[in-house]
Structure 1
Amino acid sequence: MTLRGLLLLGLLAAGPAASAQEDDFLVTSGRLSGEDFYRLVACRALPGGPCTVDPVRWSPEKALDLKVGITVPAPDYPPETIRRMSQAVDHAISEINSAGAALHLRRALEGERPDITFHLASIREGDAIEGTGVWGVDGQVIGAALVTVWWDIGQDLTEAVIVMAEDLPAADIRPVVLEELTQAMGLMTDIRNPTYDDVSVFSEDSNRVLRLGSQDKEALRRHYPPAEP
C-alpha cells in the first residue's frame, strides 16, 4: 500500500503505540521464504537479518473474540463511501477468519466497546487527522488510511484505531480496509517488492489485492498458531 510508515514508538496513556505511515516498508527482491516474509511483516527484519522491533499480538484469549466497530461517520462523509466501507469491513473480517489462524473477528454489538475501531473522519489524503478524539492519532498526516495499535508491557495488543480518508477511490476501499485490519493483528510492516504487488496485502506499491495471499495467511498462522488437532 501507499501509506506505509516508519514505526513510530511513543508512550501514550494506554501504553506503547505504533502507527503505520508512509515509509513503513522494507525493500526486497524476488519471492521470499515463508520465514523471511513472516519476520519482515511481524518484526521488521530484512531477509536473513535481525528483528528491529519486538513483535506484538493480541493475547490468545482476546484473539479468539476480537470486536470490530465503526464510529458514527462525520455528517458530511459521503454516504456511498460509508456503505462501501461497511461492506469492506465485513469482507476483511471474513478473510482473516478464514486464514486458519487462532483468530476470530466479529462486529461489535451495540453497547460493546470495540477492540479495533474504524474512524470515518472528514479528512482527505494528505490532511492532518482531526476529530477522532484519540490522542496520538489526531494530528498525524494520513495517506489513504492510518492504523495505530497500542500494547501493554507484555507485548499484548490492547487497542487498534484505523482512520480512513474520505476521498479514497471506490476501487481501493476493499483492499485498503483488508490491509489495515490485517495490520491491526500486529503485522505492521509492508514490503516493497514487485513480486508481491498482485499477491499480498502487504505490498507497498499496490492497492489491487482483494483477498489474502498464501503468504499473508501463513504469516497470520505463524503469529497466531492454531491449536494442535
Structure 2
Amino acid sequence: MIRITCAIWLAFTASANAQEYLSATKALSNDDFYNLVACAAPPDGTCAKPLVRWDRTELTIGITRMDKIYLGGKKKRAEAALVRAIQEINAAGSAIQLTQSEDNPDIPILFLDMPARLNIENSGFPNLDGTPISGAGVRVMAKDGIIQNAVIIFTRDMQRRAYESALLEEVIQGLGLLTDIGGPYYETRSIFSQTSNALTKLGPQDIMALGRHYPTR
C-alpha cells in the first residue's frame, strides 16, 4: 500500500515500501485488531500508516461505470452486492450511514473491462491511471488525515461469486480501514482476510473496528 505524505493516493493493492497486509496467527485483542486494520500496526507495535477518516458520516456510494462485459448476470450480481454491503454497514451501529446514488457519489465504483494485475488505464480518474490493480481494489486520497476521495475498482478477473465479499471489503476499506489481515485464523472471522472471500457479512471485530473509527456521539 502507498503511504500518504500530505496528499497522495493510498493504494489498496501494492507498494514498494508499505504493508498491504499483516499476518495474525491467532485471535487479536480488539485494540490490536483495530490498530492493524486502521494503521497497519503489528500487535503491540506502532502505526506504519496514518489514520485516515472521512470528516462526515453520511456518504453516498454508487456504481458509476460498468463496461459492457459485465452486462447480464455479472451486472445483476454486482448491483445486489452493493445493496447488501450498504445494508450491512448501515446496520453495524457506527456513525457511518451510506446512501446509494449514481449521481457523483462520494465513493464511485468502477467495473472495468481490464484484466487483473495490470496498470489501470482510461478510468476517468487521472490519478488512478498507471497504478496497478489486483482483482479488485480501492484507492483513497487523503490529506491531513481526512479522506478527500475514494474509488473502488473491479476488474473482469474477479469471479462473480466473490462480488458480495469483495465489495463489502472494498467499501469498508474506502472508509479508512485499509490494511488486510493475513493468515488462516481470520479467514472465516473477518472481512479483512487477505486470503479468503468466505465472508459476506462483517465479523464481530470488523463491526468493533468500524465503530471505533466512526463512533456514535
Q: Please classify the TM superposition score into its range, dividing by the shorter chain length.
A: over 0.9
The aligned counterpart of 2:53 is: 57
Structure having the higher strand fraction is 2
The aligned counterpart of 1:28 is: 24
| Contact persistence 2:4–2:50 (CA under 8 A) | no
What is the identity, as a one-letter code, of the residue corresponding to 2:131? Q
| Equivalenced residues, count | 213
| Contact persistence 1:121–1:130 (CA under 8 A) | no
- For residue 223 of structure 1, report the CA deviation from its aligned partner: 0.3
The aligned counterpart of 1:200 is: 190
- Counterpart among 78, 83, 103 of residue 76 in structure 2: 83
| Contact persistence 1:121–1:131 (CA under 8 A) | no
The aligned counterpart of 1:163 is: 153
What is the identity, as a one-letter code, of the residue corresponding to 2:162? D
- For residue 189 of structure 1, report the CA deviation from its aligned partner: 0.3
Give the structure-2-normalised TM-score: 0.92
Give the structure-1-normalised TM-score: 0.88
| Contact persistence 2:86–2:99 (CA under 8 A) | yes
Q: Deviations over 1:128-183 (max 9, x none)?
A: 22221212312222211010011233x11111001101232121111000100010
- Counterpart among 107, 123, 146 of residue 132 in structure 1: 123
What is the identity, as a one-letter code, of the residue corresponding to 1:187? L
Q: Equivalents in 1 of 2:60, 2:172: separation in Å?
A: 14
Q: Equivalents in 2 of 1:106, 1:45: separation in Å?
A: 31
RMSD after superposition? 1.6
The aligned counterpart of 1:217 is: 207
> Unaligned stretches of 5+ in structure 2?
none
- For residue 10 of structure 1, report the CA deviation from its aligned partner: 6.3
